Chain A
Amino acid sequence: SQQGEEDPQALSIQEGENATMNCSYKTSINNLQWYRQNSGRGLVHLILIRSNEREKHSGRLRVTLDTSKKSSSLLITASRAADTASYFCATVRNQAGTALIFGKGTTLSVSS
C-alpha cells in the first residue's frame, strides 16, 4: 500500500529556477526520507527529517515537515541540469523502523 504520494508527478523548469516537490502520507511516522533516482539507476538517499523536526537543510536542498498535515516538501534551489531525476519520499512503516514505503515519485526535468 502506498504511504507517500508525491506532487506533482512531473515538473519541468529552467536551470537556475527553484523546484518544489510535495509529499503527503497517511499514517504517523518516525521519520521521512527523500531519495533521488537517475533514470534506470538505484536510489540515492538525499536527506532524512525526523518527526520532531520542522525543517532541514543540506546544500541546495531544503526539506520541511508538517506532521499536523502529514506532508513534506523538498525544495531544490538554483537547479542544474544534473538535478534532472526522479525524486521519491519514503516513510518508515513498521515498529522496527525498517520497511520503507515509497511514493510514486516526481520526475524533475531541468533544461539548460
Chain B
Amino acid sequence: EAQVTQNPRYLITVTGKKLTVTCSQNMNHEYMSWYRQDPGLGLRQIYYSMNVEVTDKGDVPEGYKVSRKEKRNFPLILESPSPNQTSLYFCASRHLAGGQETQYFGPGTRLLVL
C-alpha cells in the first residue's frame, strides 16, 4: 500500500531535549516536505527536499533541521525544542515529474514541548 509514515505519532518532551521525527514513503517520490499545522495559522511549510542530498528552507525553518540521505526517508530534527514548537507536524511526498502534483500526507505527529 502506498503510504507516508511518521513516527512517533504523539510525543511529549521538555525544552532543550533533542528529538527526531521520522518520515518514510514507499512511493519512490523525489519530493518530500515537512509542514506544521497550528490553530488559526493553517499549514506552513518548514523544509522541503527535491531529492537525495537536496534540501531547502520553507516558510518557517527556524529551530528545525532535516536530512535526506536516502530517497525514502526525510527526518525532521529539533536540536533544542522550545514550547513554541508545540504543534501538529505533517510529512508529505510527491513525484516531481509527469504532471503528478498530488501530495501524499502522513498521519501527523502531535508534539508537545513543556
Binding site for B on A (CB under 8 A): 1-2, 31, 33, 35, 40-45, 48, 88, 92, 96-105
Contacts and interface: CB of A to CB of B under 8 A. Distances in A.
Contacts of A100: 33, 45, 92, 103
Given A42-B107, A44-B105, A96 B50 contact: yes
Contacts of B81: none
Given A40-B108, A96-B50, A105 B103 contact: no
Nearest to A105: B42
Given A98-B94, A99-B58, A105-B42, 20 more contacts: A31-B101, A33-B101, A40-B88, A40-B110, A41-B108, A42-B90, A42-B107, A43-B43, A43-B92, A45-B103, A88-B43, A92-B101, A97-B101, A98-B50, A98-B96, A100-B33, A100-B45, A102-B35, A102-B42, A102-B43
Interface residues of B, number: 28
